[in-house]
Copies of this chain bind each other. A is one copy, B any other.
């Protein structure tokens, strides 16, 4: 348990966190100088996944957390009956694998939606560093808490929103995340299939397909296969609140 040498094994390093563009979105956010160097040391060799490549599957022993460095992934669970629920789509800077902390086994599967590269954070070493760098510990807790909040949003979307609102919210959230990455939030590239989107929202493909068409007719979007352009962000924002123009309920309290 002494500050071991392999924690700082610089051979494992390719490009450092300090020079990474995702810096402020990722674990290093708010971590400075020396401490950042130590975090850097724990980041293992970056992995590359092809489209469809599996980062971890349900039941795999927990070894590391992962940061999306480029590309995109989906995470999903499958119940005994074999049906799948997509939990999230993950863009660069997002950290996945937290569900494995509970039982030391992954409780979901992570799969690349396109060629993606991944930073691996071996948990044993990460733990060592967090115990020495309180700021990192706090940051780690913040990140996992953010995941909890994110899931609450997903839950609200599924439980209370109409199909059209759901898709609008999904697109809006994607646009927002694009902008955080300094990309054009109006020009989305949907790396996931319509099936994936439908599944994520608790709908079926046909519904999603129809909704894309409808939003295109409304002049909100321009849809061209995977390329979606948001023509009227204002209308899209309206749709996020407006699946139920007449104020539908679905049981509003207790």
Binding site for B on A (CB under 8 A): 74, 77, 79-87, 98-103, 107-108, 127, 130-131, 134, 137-138, 141-149, 151-152, 154-156, 158-160, 192-193, 195-196, 198-199, 201-205, 241, 249-254
Contacts and interface: CB of A to CB of B under 8 A. Distances in A.
Number of copies: 2
A79 to B, nearest CB: 6
Given A138-B127, A241-B80, A101 B145 contact: yes
Nearest to A81: B241
A154 B155 CA distance: 8
A104 to B, nearest CB: 9
B252 A84 contact: yes
Contact of A199 (B107, B138, B251): B251
B250 A202 contact: yes
Contact of A144 (B77, B145, B203): B145
A158 B203 CA distance: 11
Contacts of A82: 252
A94 to B, nearest CB: 14
Contacts of A86: 254
B251 A101 contact: no
Contacts of A79: 156, 160
Contact of A254 (B102, B143, B192): B192
